C-alpha cells in the first residue's frame, strides 16, 4: 500500500494504480518481504530479497545480472531518480518521494485523466514504456497480463469505468 494518502496522490484511483504498478514490478510476495517494496533492489527473488536501508538517496547499486540500477517500489533507475529528485525538489528517496516521482511519471505520460475516470487499459498502455512489467512495451522482459493488473488495481480500491 502506498505511504502517501489517496488525497495526497490525487485520488483513490491513483493510489490504486500505484499499488498495481508495485504488484506488477515487484510481486505480492516481495512486497510482503520488504518495506512494501520501497526498499527493494532489482534482481530480488522471494528466496533472496535484496534490500536497502538508507532512504536518504537512491542506492545506485548496479545489478550485474540485470545491468540495472532499478530500486524502490516503482523500480526507478538511478539516473532518473537524481533528475526527478532535483526537479520535484524532493528531500530524499523515501517512500513519499518515490510515490511523488511515480505520479509525476504517470502525469508525463498523460495517463492521470484516464486513471481518474477508470479507463484502466488506456492508462496502462500510456505507462507501458515506463514500467517493463506492463504489457505493450518493447523491453523484451516478462510482462503481466492486463487481467492480472486490473485485478490488482481493483483489489487496491481502484474503480473502473
Task: Supply φ then ψ for residue 95, to 5 degrees.
Answer: -50, -45
**C-alpha separations of 73 from 20, 59, 113, 117, 126 in Å:** 11, 13, 23, 24, 19
Q: What is the CA radius of gyration of the chain?
A: 14
33 is catalytic: no
Q: Which residues contact 75 (CB under 8 A, 6 or more apart)?
A: 25, 26, 40, 42, 131, 132
Ramachandran quadrant class, 14 (left: phi over 0; alpha: psi -120 to 50; beta: rest): alpha
**Cα–Cα dist 4/133, whole Å:** 23
What is the DSSP-derived secondary structure letter of residue 34?
T
Q: Which residues are catalytic?
A: 25
Amino acid at each position: 500500500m502506498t505511504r502517501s494518502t489517496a488525497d495526497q496522490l490525487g485520488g483513490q484511483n491513483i493510489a490504486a494504480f500505484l499499488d498495481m504498478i508495485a504488484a506488477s514490478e515487484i510481486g505480492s510476495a516481495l512486497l510482503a518481504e520488504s518495506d512494501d517494496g520501497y526498499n527493494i533492489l532489482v534482481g530480488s527473488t522471494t528466496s533472496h530479497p535484496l534490500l536497502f536501508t538508507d532512504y536518504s538517496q537512491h542506492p545506485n547499486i548496479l545489478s550485474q545480472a540485470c545491468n540495472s540500477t532499478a530500486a524502490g517500489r516503482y523500480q526507478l533507475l538511478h539516473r532518473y531518480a537524481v533528475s526527478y529528485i532535483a526537479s520535484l525538489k524532493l528531500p530524499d528517496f523515501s517512500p513519499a518521494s518515490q510515490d511523488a516521482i511515480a505520479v509525476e511519471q504517470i502525469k508525463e505520460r498523460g495517463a492521470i485523466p484516464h486513471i481518474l475516470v477508470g479507463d484502466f487499459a488506456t492508462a496502462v498502455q500510456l505507462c507501458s514504456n515506463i514500467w517493463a512489467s506492463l504489457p505493450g512495451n518493447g523491453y523484451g522482459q516478462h510482462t503481466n497480463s492486463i487481467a492480472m493488473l486490473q485485478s490488482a488495481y481493483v483489489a487496491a480500491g481502484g474503480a473502473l469505468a
